[in-house]
Structure 1
Amino acid sequence: MLGNTYMDTVGNLLKAMKSAESQGRYEIMLSLQKILSGQGATAASCHRDIYKAARSCLTDRSMAVRCAAAKCLLELQNEAVFMWTTELENVATLCFKAFEGSNYDVRVWVSKLLGTVLATAVVPKQGPGVRLVVRKTMLAEAMDLLASGFSRGGSGFLRVSGEMLKGGSSVNRDIRIGVTQAYVAFISTLGGQWLELNFAALLEHILELMSHPKATQTQIDAICCRRCVSFILRTTVGSLLGEKAQIAAAKEICQVVGKQNKAVDAAMSDTNMETKLDAMDVSASQHVLVCTLQELGSLVQGLGSTAAPLLQDSTIGVLDKVISVLLHPSVSARLAAAWCLRCFAVALPSEVSPLLDRCTERLSALRSSPEAVTGYSFAIAALLGAVQQCPLGIPHEKGKLIMTQAEDFLRTAIQNSRLSVHRTQAGWLLFSALMTLGPAVIHRHLPRILLLWKSVFPQSPKDLEMERNRGDCFTWQVMLEERAGALCAMKCFMLYCKDLLTDDVIERLLPLLTFAVALSTKLPALNKSYGTPLKSASVVFRQRLYEVLALLPPKNCEGMFNSVLKELIAELTLADNQMFAATFLLPSLCHQDDALLLGAWLQETDHRFIEEQLKLGGILGGGSLEHDPFAIYQRLADGELVPTPLPPVLSMIRAAVELFGVIFPGLDVKHRAQVLDQFTESIKQTKGSKQQTVQLNVFAAFCYGLKVSMLFL
């Protein structure tokens, strides 16, 4: 534009903005962005006016307008010094508001705006056209601004009912995830060299996000925050730092792990009750440990053999510090430590055998400690899972030793009620993990395993009726844990040792599964009798049962289909917890081209790890390893950094859907029609959000049945 004609153009655009529709506002914002890009510092006289107009558009009801406004402000901040000086706090608050109710594109652009403005405030631009700023913003001030949005949503704005629909958190999850992306943009803008110099301060600040009371009010909030913190660390440390700097970062993270564990040990050993109550606040350290251990494991796995000196350096004591967390009071921390050891084993296969020896020895020595039993069994299972990725494997004798240890735990579980559940879970976890070693290891132990499975289930209908009449709540809890573990070991046997699943073995398993099905029909009555303590165990038991039945040839299970089908229909239409959306069932059933409608495109983005938390209406906060410790030895899905199993209720519904899909094609035409009529009637009888959930469950089950039917055509 010649002369000052741009000023007239800007004035006309801003006037038109007042009466423009959303499409007009969108186009005007893009036009202003182009003008700012072309005019540079010469448009300084219009900067304030454009800033005021873009501010109102950044919280527009139209997501496209918000994106355009963010792009305009991003261009404006290149020349408008006031945005990262006097207006810095206002810009931050404005961005937090823009995250409210936003979509993915808005979060990407607004986070880029916020991160860039804060980075410029910390390291001001130098060059022609940029006047000297008297005071630059300190790093701590910039990060405190981000922390205020992450922990409190900014300056106390937007307290709306929508937050209750997103899981009851006092901070809207859209805002929290937007701020997380802003952290990454902030660090990425400053660059790898800056990160290397300031990593210690940055790590301390990011981990402090987990200590805010509002960050971990519920388990869902805690999982969400942990995923956000892990995303910040993985995206920045994993991509901006070189090999040498990553090793230094791993050492720094290791020091944090050591400090956190020492603080917990001090709190647990304190005999003064007054100080002990205060010290027990250290239990919040579990979330810090989960994030640091996951990042430490990812760093070492990425470094591969280069990390050998780091693990072997006795002055740092990486292995000692990680193994010490296996005795942490929190299950989440113990699982994170076990997963970290698995990452070490994948990076350095030569460490698998020494680590297995160390963990099995400690497990034998500390068999009277509940934390040690679960912690070291998690570690052994994780290391066995790592063998799948280690071409050299392990000596067969180690498998035999671990199997003997697992069998001993199952045999002695009833001797000490304080350890019954822990030893039972540990024994079957080890058996399940051993199955991943394949038929070459398992075939010689198969007779022992079959006898163990037989001993877990009743041998006759009379035995089943007797145990129903004599058990109390705790006895049933242990029994369901034991049988769920046995079923999980069966599932792993079918997945990893298919060559051993002969007709003879199937015939020996069918009577056991028949009694398992009979028990599942009794569970509703048991849940009514014993209440909440038994519900979780019964859900896991049904999930394992459905998973096993879905893996068997349908012709072998026909005798159980009638009983199982009634249970499946009840699961899909009368689920105890209908607050969860069922959209997690649909992606696997859709054609790749249609999956875009369900947000499958997120799989191709850099932000998948945190954006997935919003896919189910923000209710779940994403999957987490503590939902199913048995996932610790399984192979990771493509794109996953750590296992993320869903909560037991959802995993059970998914297993029910898949089993229904296996059973439905084998029914006769009349029976199929009856089942579909029953589904239709159930949908009619439900109302509101519950009806939508039932519809999605039924639709997913029917689609899975059609999918299975196509395989036999």
Structure 2
Amino acid sequence: MELAHSLLLNEDALAQITEAKRPVFIFEWLRFLDKVLVAANKVDVKEKQKKLVEQLTGLISSAPGPPTRKLLAKNLATLYSIGDTFTVFQTLDKCNDIIKSKDDTPAYLPTKLAAVACVGAFYEKMGRMLGSSFPDTINNLLKALKSAESQGRGEILLSLQKVLGGLGGAAASCHRDIYKNARSLLTDRSMAVRCAVAKCLLELQNEAVFMWTTELENVATLCFKALEGSNYGVRVSVAKLLGTVMATALLPKQAAVMRQNVKRATLEEVLELMATGFLRGGSGFLKSGGEMLKGGGSVSREVRVGVTQAYVVFVTTLGGQWLERNFATFLSHVLDLVSHPRATQTHVEAVYSRRCVSFMLRATLGGLLGEKAQIAAGKEICQAISKQMRAVEAVVNDISGENKAGAADVSASQHVMVCALKELGSLVQSLSATASPLIQEPSIGLLETVTSVLLHPSMAARLAAAWCLRCVAVALPYQLTPLLERCAERINSLKSSPEAVSGYSFAMAALLGGVHQCPLGIPHSKGKLVVSIAEDLLRTAAQNSRLSLQRTQAGWLLLGALMTLGPSLVRYHLPKMLLLWRNVFPRSQKELEAEKARGDAFTWQVTLEGRAGALCAMRSFVAHCPELLTEDVIRRLMTPIECAMTM
């Protein structure tokens, strides 16, 4: 391949090698040329330019493959930008003639694609230097676009993107033609074509003011439709287009505003448009079954994920300062999305929507805001949680039952709580020690706000609150022991509340699980406290049927969490644990058979919950305390495990 390393193509060497190896030889030469052209002496290049142009243009007709045509186009454009431009119009005309050709055979397609790639590269590199030839070139490409197959459409659109990039505002007369021809291809069957259209339109919107003014709604709807049945590449490209167009509509470029009397969209209008995609998908767009998305049915995951990415692009494009100033509005908007009935029609959809909104918040807050702004954002999130919790408490305490819409509000609030608490936890954890103002400032009341959610009727919200408290403890280890004590105190004083037993046990388990991330650890006596509470919960579970399930779950959850503290602490409580494990399962086959003959559904539910919890605690013990697994302990563990296997 050393013979390929020369400024001119070594035609003698090329003639001597076999037909099969020639494309590789040419590709290697083009690779070398790509590196050497920019570094070569301009005088040398100009001397050999005529021959080099002949060789390169000759390769256009040799049906090159995708990597070769890309390098070929790049080298030709670089050659003209370094050397003389006398023959560039001849080469451009030759490429245009190839594109105009009526030959639609598959054998001729690579030649056409190479010509299209060259046209794009010329305009990208030289732009306005090519003078007034661009209208003919663009019309030629648009004409070819109408009759091209998918591969051709993709290449033409990418070429148009480069033409637009090179010409900038000079191509204004062709902008509408390009838009009209390209927009319908956003819903093309080929994913590569959709990607190419999105990239082309993204370049177009830099100068085409109409895209983010009069055509804004149409562009948004097209993007939502393009996301239907899309793959990852399409979602990224379309999200970038949608997010950028929306950001430009809100804050247009100064030059565009000065050129035309542009009416800027308001933040509410832009957010409402994007929310339409998240909640309704391609409005009025017929799905395969003929069902109108606007009327009913759920939004496809692809659309929802694509719009989520568009939100992130939108905020990222506007920047951190904008987010800092408008965070309250943005937070309120995204939390409204996740609480909307259309986003939570089924449990799976609700979880998916929560993931989407959590991603929006993390990708923007975590990446764009500085420390001070993040603390301010944390304060806003606290206020949002507090507001939701007050509304929930009003419904829960409404004994008269007059607030009939309240049940739906409570259900919707859990999704808001999960997203807000997850983001608050992530925020505190990323701020680490600098999160102290959030905790210490009484006006914010972060700990009180988060712990209040431990009494939320929804388990998802309680779990999110527990996770948030764990994040606080990991970020600020000095808070770990006080939080544990507070939860222990509350769980003892609120034993008669199922939500309190569940919520505070979640919190204690989460805090215990976070101890290994805190170098200070916790006092040894806290382990004894946890065992005492867990034992008490398990012992009193049978006393009140209304609380049996929650107390059983809580007791075993705490014991499972205790195991994460490691062998040094668990060693002292192991005899008690072995006894608890033994007692929760039948001791013999006879007992097991007798047990099967009695008990109603609820009794069995509590029993099975207890045994499942015991097995989880065992698993935690084995995972975190392998040093304590002596032969005797293993033998004693096997008895309940074998019993569980035969149930």
> TM-score surpassing 0.5?
yes
Structure 1 counterpart of 2:644, from 516, 541, 544: 516
| 1:435/1:496 contact within 8 Å kept | yes
Partner in structure 2 of residue 188 of structure 1: 316
Does residue 480 in structure 1 map to residue 608 in structure 2? yes
Give the Cα–Cα distance (whole angstroms) in 2 for the partners of residues 467 and 272 of structure 1.
43
Structure 2 counterpart of 1:320, from 445, 448, 459: 448
Give the Cα–Cα distance (whole angstroms) in 2 for the partners of residues 25 and 277 of structure 1.
52
Tell me the amino acid that sits aligned with residue 480 of structure 1: L
Displacement, 1:474?
A: 1.1
Partner in structure 2 of residue 291 of structure 1: 419
Does residue 374 in structure 1 map to residue 502 in structure 2? yes
Tell me the amino acid that sits aligned with residue 58 of structure 1: L
| 1:169/1:221 contact within 8 Å kept | no
Does residue 154 in structure 1 map to residue 303 in structure 2? no
Partner in structure 2 of residue 607 of structure 1: none
| 1:406/1:427 contact within 8 Å kept | yes
Does residue 274 in structure 1 map to residue 412 in structure 2? no
Tell me the amino acid that sits aligned with residue 631 of structure 2: D
Tell me the amino acid that sits aligned with residue 471 of structure 1: G
Give the Cα–Cα distance (whole angstroms) in 2 for the partners of residues 133 and 331 of structure 1.
53
| 1:79/1:129 contact within 8 Å kept | no
| 2:207/2:256 contact within 8 Å kept | no
Partner in structure 1 of residue 61 of structure 2: none
Partner in structure 1 of residue 380 of structure 2: 252
Partner in structure 1 of residue 522 of structure 2: 394
Displacement, 1:124?
A: 1.0
Partner in structure 2 of residue 84 of structure 1: 212
What does the per-residue CA deviation read over 1:449-476, in whole Å, with 9 as the maximum and x for residues that have no partner?
0000000111111000000011221111
Tell me the amino acid that sits aligned with residue 246 of structure 1: Q
Displacement, 1:133?
A: 3.0
Q: 1:217 aligns to what SS in structure 2?
A: coil
For 1:415-564, list aligned pairs within 5 A: 415-519=543-647
- Does the C-alpha gap of structure 1 residues 276 and 23 become closer, same or farther in structure 2, counting only changes over 3 Å? closer
Partner in structure 2 of residue 8 of structure 1: 136
Does residue 210 in structure 1 map to residue 338 in structure 2? yes
Displacement, 1:160?
A: 3.2
Aligned residues: 516
| 1:342/1:386 contact within 8 Å kept | yes
Give the Cα–Cα distance (whole angstroms) in 2 for the partners of residues 2 and 452 of structure 1.
85
Give the Cα–Cα distance (whole angstroms) in 1 for the partners of residues 185 and 642 of structure 2.
63
What does the per-residue CA deviation read over 1:284-333, in whole Å, with 9 as the maximum and x for residues that have no partner?
11110111111111101100111112201112111001000000111011
Tell me the amino acid that sits aligned with residue 183 of structure 2: R
What does the per-residue CA deviation read over 1:424-472, in whole Å, with 9 as the maximum and x for residues that have no partner?
0000000000000000000011100000000011111100000001122
What does the per-residue CA deviation read over 1:61-120, in whole Å, with 9 as the maximum and x for residues that have no partner?
111111111110000000000000000000000000000010001100100000100100
| 1:436/1:496 contact within 8 Å kept | yes
Give the Cα–Cα distance (whole angstroms) in 2 for the partners of residues 169 and 350 of structure 1.
50
Displacement, 1:58?
A: 1.3
Partner in structure 2 of residue 31 of structure 1: 159
Partner in structure 2 of residue 198 of structure 1: 326
Does residue 309 in structure 1 map to residue 403 in structure 2? no
For 1:219-258, list aligned pairs within 5 A: 219-258=347-386
Give the Cα–Cα distance (whole angstroms) in 2 for the partners of residues 390 and 278 of structure 1.
41
Structure 2 counterpart of 1:338, from 462, 466, 487: 466
| 2:530/2:558 contact within 8 Å kept | yes
Displacement, 1:423?
A: 0.4
- Does the C-alpha gap of structure 1 residues 228 and 515 become closer, same or farther in structure 2, counting only changes over 3 Å? same
Partner in structure 2 of residue 406 of structure 1: 534
Does residue 265 in structure 1 map to residue 393 in structure 2? yes
Displacement, 1:280?
A: 5.0
- Does the C-alpha gap of structure 1 residues 340 and 161 become closer, same or farther in structure 2, counting only changes over 3 Å? farther
Q: What TM-score comes out, normalization by structure 2 length?
A: 0.78
Displacement, 1:154?
A: 3.4
| 1:163/1:172 contact within 8 Å kept | no
Larger Rg: 2
Displacement, 1:422?
A: 0.5
Tell me the amino acid that sits aligned with residue 393 of structure 2: D
- Does the C-alpha gap of structure 1 residues 234 and 128 become closer, same or farther in structure 2, counting only changes over 3 Å? closer
Q: 1:42 aligns to what SS in structure 2?
A: helix
| 2:455/2:499 contact within 8 Å kept | yes
Displacement, 1:276?
A: 4.4
Partner in structure 1 of residue 70 of structure 2: none
| 1:163/1:170 contact within 8 Å kept | no
| 1:41/1:129 contact within 8 Å kept | no
Structure 2 counterpart of 1:51, from 167, 170, 179: 179
Partner in structure 2 of residue 652 of structure 1: none
| 1:81/1:130 contact within 8 Å kept | no
Give the Cα–Cα distance (whole angstroms) in 1 for the partners of residues 404 and 255 of structure 2.
57
Give the Cα–Cα distance (whole angstroms) in 2 for the partners of residues 8 and 130 of structure 1.
29
Give the Cα–Cα distance (whole angstroms) in 2 for the partners of residues 257 and 129 of structure 1.
40
Give the Cα–Cα distance (whole angstroms) in 2 for the partners of residues 183 and 39 of structure 1.
29
Tell me the amino acid that sits aligned with residue 402 of structure 1: V
Give the Cα–Cα distance (whole angstroms) in 2 for the partners of residues 77 and 134 of structure 1.
14
Give the Cα–Cα distance (whole angstroms) in 1 for the partners of residues 411 and 303 of structure 2.
26
What does the per-residue CA deviation read over 1:639-663, in whole Å, with 9 as the maximum and x for residues that have no partner?
xxxxxxxxxxxxxxxxxxxxxxxxx
Q: 1:18 aligns to what SS in structure 2?
A: helix
| 1:169/1:217 contact within 8 Å kept | no
| 2:392/2:409 contact within 8 Å kept | no
Tell me the amino acid that sits aligned with residue 406 of structure 1: A
Tell me the amino acid that sits aligned with residue 275 of structure 1: N
- Does the C-alpha gap of structure 1 residues 13 and 130 become closer, same or farther in structure 2, counting only changes over 3 Å? farther
Displacement, 1:509?
A: 1.3
Q: 1:235 aligns to what SS in structure 2?
A: helix
Give the Cα–Cα distance (whole angstroms) in 2 for the partners of residues 187 and 277 of structure 1.
34
| 1:55/1:94 contact within 8 Å kept | yes
Displacement, 1:40?
A: 0.8
Q: 1:368 aligns to what SS in structure 2?
A: coil
Give the Cα–Cα distance (whole angstroms) in 2 for the partners of residues 129 and 178 of structure 1.
29
Does residue 384 in structure 1 map to residue 512 in structure 2? yes
> Quick one: percent identity of the two aligned structures?
68
Partner in structure 2 of residue 117 of structure 1: 245
Partner in structure 2 of residue 63 of structure 1: 191
Give the Cα–Cα distance (whole angstroms) in 2 for the partners of residues 86 and 135 of structure 1.
9
Displacement, 1:159?
A: 2.9
Tell me the amino acid that sits aligned with residue 269 of structure 1: N
Displacement, 1:129?
A: 9.1
What does the per-residue CA deviation read over 1:133-159, in whole Å, with 9 as the maximum and x for residues that have no partner?
341000100000000000011322133
Give the Cα–Cα distance (whole angstroms) in 1 for the partners of residues 270 and 219 of structure 2.
12
Partner in structure 2 of residue 527 of structure 1: none
Tell me the amino acid that sits aligned with residue 203 of structure 1: L
